[in-house]
Chain A
Amino acid sequence: MSSNLVWVGYVTIVRKEITRILRIWGQTIVPPAITMTLYFIIFGELIGRRIGEMGGFSYMQYIVPGLVIMSVITNSYGNMVSSFFGAKFGKHIEELLISPLPNWVILAGYVTGALARGLMVGAVVLVVSLLFTPIEVQHPLIMLSVLLLTAVVFALAGMVNAIFAQKFDDIAIIPTFVLAPLTYLGGVFYSIALLPEFWQKVSVVNPILYMVNGFRYGMLGVSDVSLAMTYGVILIAGGILFFTCLFLLNRGTGLRT
C-alpha cells in the first residue's frame, strides 16, 4: 500500500469533514457558543456572584475550563456520531468502503474531523469566556494535550455509537442519557471536595471528572485529581476505544453485510 494512498485519502476525509462543519456552521459552531454564553451569564455572572470563590478563583473563572472541555466533549462526540451515522444512513459511506483505503485511515480521518470541530467550538467558548473574565493559563502544554486527547477519546466513542446505530434515535440516546449526566456530574460546575464523602467516592469512577480536572489544572493550576490519573484514564480509555473501533470496522459491523 502506497504512502500516497494513505496520506491523500486521510487529507481528503479531513477536508471533507471540515467543509461539512463549516457548511453547516449554524448547526455546528453557533449553538454551543450561544449555550455557553448563557451558562456564563446565568451560572457565572448571576449565581456565581453569590457563590463566591472556589479553589481560590472567582466562580466564573472556576467554571471556564469545565465549560470549555464540556463543549469539546459534546462536539467531538456529536460530530463523529452525526457525520459517520449520516454517511451510513445516506449510504455514502460506501464511497469509502469500496475504496482501497485501510480502515485505520478512515478512522483517523473521521477522528481528525471530530477533533477539528471540538477545537473550533472550544476556541469559540474560550473567546466568549474572555468577555466575562480574564484567564491566565498556567500550564499551556498540559491544557492543550488534555484537550486534544479528550477530543480524540470522545470522537472514538462517537464512532462506536455510530457503528451500532441503526436509526437516528440511537445516536441521541448515549449523549442524552450517558454523556450529559456524566459531564454535568464530572466537576464542570463544582469541586468534588464540596460533596459528601460517599458521593466523592462515586465521582471518582466518572472518567469525565479526570478530563475536566486535568484541563482545569492546565488552565488554572488547580485540580481535584492527580495529573497522572488524568493522563492514565484518558490514554486507557482512548486505547480501548481505538482498538474497539478498528475491530468493528475490520469486521464490518453495521457497515458490511
Chain B
Amino acid sequence: MYALEVNELRKTYGNGVEALKGISLTVEEGDFFALLGPNGAGKSTLIGIVSSLVNASSGETKVFGTSVQQQRSLAMSHIGLVPQELNFNQFEKPLEIVVNQAGYYGIPRGVALERAEKYLRQLNLWDKAENISRTLSGGMKRRLMIARAMMNEPRLLILDEPTAGVDIEIRRSMWDFIREINDQGTTVILTTHYLEEAESLCRNIAIIDHGEIIKNTDMKSLLATLDVETFVLDLRESISHCPFVEGMEIVVRDEKTLEASLPKQKSLNNLFAELDRQGVHVLSMRNKANRLEELFMGLVDKSQANGGAA
C-alpha cells in the first residue's frame, strides 16, 4: 500500500491561477521522500490538498489507501503536518499547544501529557514547555511545530520547509530527529530549499515546476545522471596563468582559487596529477554547489525554457 497516492490532481484557484496541472505521484510506505521545486511551483498547494487545507479542483488523493476527498477524517488521522509558516497561537504555552493538538486526534489527556514530554524533550524544548510561545526563538518555534505534528504519532509526516531560517546546528539536530522517526517506520515527505538537506536525507524525489512533475525518481539514479561536477580548489601559492588540463574546464576565480569542471568519466586523480606536473599545488577542495542543486537547476531551467513542461 502506498503512503500517498495522487492521481491526476488539478487545482485552479479562484483568480484563475492553475497551481497543479493534473499531477500523479506515489510515495511508498516508509519512504523518505523529497518534494522539490522553485517558489510557486505548486508544492504547498499539493501539501495543502493532501492535508485537506486546500480543496482540489479534480483528481484524487489517497493516504494509506483512504481518500482525502471521500473519507477526510480517517485520512487525516494518519497525517502529521509541519507547515511552512508558523501557525500556532503565540500566546499559548508549548505544552498547551501540543497537548491540545493531541486532543484534536482523540488522544486522552493523560497519554497526551506523556507524549508531550517525550517529544518536547527529544526536540530540546521541555525546559520551555511553560513559556509563552512568542518568546521562543525562531528555531524553537520550528521545533515546536515538529513536536506538535508528532503528537498523533502519524504514519505520514509532511514537513514543508521545516528548517527554513534555522541555524546549521539546530538544522542538523532536526535532521537527526526526523531520520530517527523515519527509521522507526514513519513515512516522511520533505520540501526544502536546502538541497543538501534533501540529498542527505531522502531516498526518492519528485521535482515539481509550473504545477507539473518534471522528475520523479530515486535519489541515486538522479545523482547518477549528473554529467559534470564543478569543484573549487584552494591553492597553496598564487598563480599567474590558468593551468590547462585536457577534457576539463578550468577557470581562475582569483590568484589562489580555481574552479574545475570535470565530466563524470574523468578522474580527480588525473586533475591532481596534471596540476602537480604544472607546479600548481592544491591545499583543499570542495564542491562548488551541491550535486542535487546542479541537477535541480538544470531540470528547472530546462522546464522553464520549454514553457513549463520538461
Contacts and interface: CB of A to CB of B under 8 A. Distances in A.
Interface of A: 1-2, 4-9, 11-13, 15-16, 19, 23, 87, 90-92, 94-102, 252, 256-257
A2 B106 CA distance: 8
Contacts of A13: 103-104
B88 A4 contact: no
B103 A11 contact: yes
A254 to B, nearest CB: 12
A252 B55 contact: yes
A100 B105 contact: yes
Contacts of B6: none
Nearest to B52: A98
Contact of B55 (A12, A94, A256): A256
A4 B48 contact: no
A8 B55 CA distance: 27
B53 interface: yes
Interface of B: 13, 48, 51-55, 72-74, 76-77, 79, 81, 83, 85-91, 96, 100-101, 103-109, 148
Nearest to A101: B104
Given A98-B52, A100-B76, A8 B81 contact: no
A3 to B, nearest CB: 9
A87 B100 CA distance: 14
Given A95-B101, A256-B55, 7 more contacts: A4-B108, A8-B107, A9-B103, A9-B104, A16-B100, A95-B148, A99-B105
Contacts of B79: 98
B13 A257 contact: yes
B105 A98 contact: no
Q: Top 3 nearest A-B pairs by Cβ distance?
A: A12-B103, A5-B106, A99-B104
Contacts of A9: 103-106
B81 A98 contact: yes
Contacts of B73: 1, 5, 100-102
A91 B74 contact: no
Contacts, number: 84
A91 B88 CA distance: 7
A203 B60 CA distance: 53
Contact of B88 (A12, A19, A92): A92
Given A94-B87, A257-B13, A19 B96 contact: yes
A92 B91 CA distance: 11
A23 B55 CA distance: 35
A72 to B, nearest CB: 26
Nearest to B90: A90
Contacts of A100: 72-74, 76-77, 104-106
Contacts of A23: 91
Contacts of A257: 13, 48, 53-55
Contacts of B86: 91
Contact of B89 (A6, A7, A92): A92
Given A8-B107, A16-B100, A100-B105, A256 B87 contact: no
Given A2-B106, A94-B87, A12 B100 contact: yes
